[in-house]
Amino acid sequence: METHAKQARESFAQAVRHTDAEIDLFAACLFIAAEEYPDLETDRYFTKLDSLAGMVQDRLTGSSSTYDRLANLREVVFEVAGLRGNSGNFYDPRNSYVNQVLDRGLGIPITLSVIYREVAARTGIEMHGIGMPGHFLLVTGSGGDEIFIDPYHRGGLLSRKECLSLAMRGKKPAGGTSPALSRHLLPVCGNRSTLRRLLTNLKLTHAKKRDYKRSLAAAERIQMLDPQNWRNLSDLARLQAEVGDFVQAVESLSAFLDRAPEGADTRRAQDALSQLRELARKQAAAKANS
């Protein structure tokens, strides 16, 4: 790994050592991007957020309501700054790097939500991520005052009922919408789970393009972020094998088998481990003889 990539990885590791609430989400996202973009200047992007927030504040009056603030926030982020969802090339990896989203104006739900939330926070509006299946939203307020926001669709406002319908794809649950179902479909995402979801997007996007080196880098950071994530260990092993690091693949798959809960289907992993051990043995022998 090149020097800049090592430094970015170390910065990310340091950023996520804190408790969930203490993690600087935007800084961690920039450190993810810095591993890919060696010339990235983090201060420039913090300044850009501050500038956007300043424009929102300039539009407010002392009597501005929450809806006024959201309307001005929407105008600045989507009209003035021109951010929008990249529906034409959703799986472009650049959509997952916040620096590229701010530079190009194109993103996916989670990166647009991170940026929108950061600008909102600078104007006094606290928002939380909502990791619904297949989509990412924001929410502000609570109880009867909660408002859901969809940054991918230009900051549109939604009710909980509309969000549930979106999550259910218009279908009505047989037993009605219980609080438990609502929490399941519209889970609040903390900083750590938001980063994990962002990195999972990168892992899958790069793997689809057969860019296993970059996919592996995302999987490694997921494990740093969430060491107890036993499912990711399986992906980590597969990607390590794809790039030819069979020794590490054996370690990762062994850890997966050790941590997998009782009842998990691990037969394929056990078969794969035997093959990886043989490949690792041959690899070690070849290095010894070179």
DSSP for the chain reads --HHHHHHHHHHHHHTTS-GGG--HHHHHHHHHHTT-TT--HHHHHHHHHHHHHHHHHT--TT--HHHHHHHHHIIIIIIS--EE--SSTT-GGGG-HHHHHHHSEE-HHHHHHHHHHHHHHTT---EEE--TT--EEEES-GGG-EEEEGGGTTEEE-HHHHHHHHTTTPPPTT---HHHHHHHSPEE-HHHHHHHHHHHHHHHHHHTT-HHHHHHHHHHHHHH-TT-HHHHHHHHHHHHHTT-HHHHHHHHHHHHHHSPTT---HHHHHHHHHHHHHHHHHHHHHHH-
Question: For residues 117, 118, 119 and 121, what is the CA-based torsion angle, rounded to 10 degrees?
Answer: 80
**Contact in structure between 54 and 123 (CB atoms under 8 Å):** no
37: which residues sit within 8 A by CB, 6+ positions away?
97, 99, 100
Cα dihedral across residues 169, 84, 107, 118: positive or negative: negative
Give pTM, 2 decimals: 0.93
pLDDT of residue 145: 87
What pLDDT, on the 0 to 100 scale, is given for residue 175? 56
pLDDT tens digits, the chain, 290 residues: what are they?
Answer: 577 889 999 999 999 999 999 999 999 999 999 999 999 999 999 999 999 999 999 998 877 788 999 999 999 999 999 999 999 999 999 999 999 999 999 999 999 999 999 999 999 999 999 999 899 999 999 888 899 999 999 999 999 989 998 888 867 765 556 778 888 899 999 999 999 999 999 999 999 999 999 999 999 999 999 998 999 999 999 999 999 999 999 999 999 999 999 888 899 999 999 999 999 999 888 888 87
Domain residue spans in the chain?
3-189, 228-290
Tokens, residue 266: 């691990």
Query: Which pLDDT belongs to residue 173?
Result: 64
What is residue 174's predicted lDDT score, i.e. its pLDDT?
57
> What fold, for 3-189?
C8orf32 fold (3.10.620)
What is the biggest distance separating any 2 CA atoms in the chain, rounded to whole angstroms? 77
What pLDDT does residue 177 have?
A: 64
